[in-house]
Amino acid sequence: MAMVGSRKIGVLSNTDYAEETHNLTLPNPGDIIMAMIFAWALFCFFLVLAGKRVLGVMSRQASSLELKNAIANGDEAALTLLMVVGSLSIFILVLLCLKYRKAIFPVMLFGLSFAAAQWLPLHDFAASIKYLCLAVLASFAGLFLLKNFWILISTPYIRILVALFIWIAIVSIFVGGRFDDFWFVSVFLAFAIGVAIGWCNYIDDIESLCAFNRNIAWAGLVITFIHLSTPIIIDDYLQQGRFRSYDSRATAFGVFYAPVLIAMFWMGMFEKRVIIKWVFQLAAVAGVILILWSGTRSAAGATVAAVFLLWWVFKTRILLYVFMAIVLGLSAQIIGLSEQEDFGLIADRVEEEGASGRFDVWVEYSEIILRSPVYGHSSSGVLRQIYAEEYLNLFTRINATAKTPSPHNSYIGITVRFGIVALVLYLMLIFKSLGRARNVLLSEFVPAEDKQVYVLPVAILLVICITGLTEDIVPENGKGNLATFMAFPLLVLCEAMGAKLLRKYSEPMVNIQPPKESDNILHSEPL
């Protein structure tokens, strides 16, 4: 049985064309199982000592009303069953995840896409997948960081990512100190360290990157078909004439669907088999129609920009299909308006958000940032800056959840939570990765075939960065979402694979002849 063992992997350790690598050690399956068993035992211990209080906190994290009630009113028999079933599930879960580790990424894409679905069967299934996989990834990430900490901080690019995690952890613990803060740190550890550096280490050449891209594309196809089934399964799939699928908001659907949609466009251009190629192209066009129907302008604009980048690399006729999809998508949104007053609602929305809506929100959050510009207010602390303490106490007494208003900008969201230091580190990662991608895509030495594989992580990362200008992709309660899950692995892939391609196809120095003195127009004989 092929599983992750305690073996060595390579990580780029220097700048553009460095040959040096450092050895990193992956945690073995036994260590992961023991770590999860210990965490589960500790959790069960707290349930016994302070069951009602812990269950109350858990119930506020649940999205389903039925699940909230089941957790909040759990009796001793339910707790006992939870302990036994959880212990058995850990063994099975870890073995499955490690045996089929390449499937974790597409499986998590499915779980994150529908973990907040309004249709309860889909919600419960997707949320179970999401949190079970997250538990494995968090345990893997913690052990991985402990085993390789000093090596990671000696690697120039990776040390920025590790520094960002450490800073967020310090702010969350010492400034926040609430359940949401510790949960956010765990999710960030799993996504930014566990998945981005350790779990995806098998992507070390263009062939493995191509297989990774295909997995994302196939996951996107499944997700698209589920979204297309919405009118058949549920009745309430529109929000004031805007398509929202199974989500509670149309904007949430558009922002988190756009990244996987780009993977289907890539597959429609890259695939050589005609039938599969056309399936993905048709599904991608249908996806563009859904995004336009949702009225999510940031997702629509980011999708067009990313598709243009793919077209620039592939030089296909896909832009014609996108134009047709835009026309159909706008038509679908108009047809979806059941009443004349809905036209007025959309017109008001365009006027409000275009003129003052988001700008006013940014101004308000800028004032909150200025109260603590260096280290921010933590994930949970933003709420305390908005609501008075007596209101928060009232929410706790009546078992209600106060939600943080979205800052409608990821970069403002990071700054208000973790300060300017976190923003600078995050922007350094983005600019370094996109700068590396620019060098690869504009290089005369890298073959077109390799560029066509490498461009997908760049295009998806571009979508996440653009949508982050008008939407906050950082979840307020640390549950994790599709954008934060994909962002950091793609940042690392763009940097590491880009450096490998430039190093592989750079012209050897031995072939470069030094200039002759006669060729130097600045050379002159001594007087």
pLDDT score of 516: 45
pLDDT top residue among 98 and 520:
98
* Mean pLDDT for the chain overall: 77
**Could you report the per-residue pLDDT of 252-267, keeping only the tens digit for each?**
898 889 999 999 999 9
Token pair 């960065």 is found at: 465
pLDDT score of 212: 94
**Could you report the per-residue pLDDT of 235-251, keeping only the tens digit for each?**
888 877 788 999 888 88
pLDDT score of 455: 95
Statement: residue 440 has pLDDT above 50: yes
Token pair 């399964």 is found at: 233
283 touches 261 (CB < 8 A): no
Question: pTM of this prediction?
Answer: 0.82
3-state secondary structure of 387: coil
pLDDT top residue among 324 and 132:
132
Which neighbouring-strand residues pair with 25? 8
pLDDT score of 436: 94
Please enumerate in sequence order all residues whose Cβ is within 8 A of that of 91, keeping only pairs 6 or more positions apart, or say none. 33
Structure tokens at 54: 């812990």
Confidence of residue 419 (pLDDT cuts 50, 70, 90): very high
Q: Give the Cα separation of 311 and 63 in Å (integer).
A: 39
In this prediction, residues 432-449 reach a mean pLDDT of: 93
Statement: residue 287 has pLDDT above 60: yes
pLDDT score of 520: 38
Please enumerate in sequence order all residues whose Cβ is within 8 A of that of 416, keeping only pairs 6 or more positions apart, or say none. 365, 368, 369, 376, 377, 382, 407
pLDDT top residue among 23 and 209:
209
pLDDT score of 166: 94
Q: Give the Cα separation of 438 and 459 in Å (integer).
A: 11
The H or E element containing residue 81 is: helix 76-99
**Overall size of the chain counted in residues:** 527
Torsion of CA 174, 178, 183, 186, to 10 degrees: 20
Q: Give the Cα separation of 110 and 112 in Å (integer).
A: 6
**Could you report the per-residue pLDDT of 173-195, keeping only the tens digit for each?**
998 888 778 888 888 888 889 88
- Among 477, 480, 481, which residue's Cα sits nearest to residue 380? 477
pLDDT score of 292: 85
**Lowest-pLDDT range of 112-126, 314-328, 347-361, 506-520:** 506-520
Structure tokens at 181: 């803060």
Q: Give the Cα separation of 228 and 342 in Å (integer).
A: 23
Q: Give the Cα separation of 100 and 202 in Å (integer).
A: 12
Confidence of residue 427 (pLDDT cuts 50, 70, 90): very high
In this prediction, residues 31-38 reach a mean pLDDT of: 79
Confidence of residue 434 (pLDDT cuts 50, 70, 90): very high
pLDDT top residue among 230 and 11:
230
In this prediction, residues 87-112 reach a mean pLDDT of: 80
**Lowest-pLDDT range of 20-24, 58-62, 208-212, 484-488:** 58-62
439 touches 451 (CB < 8 A): no
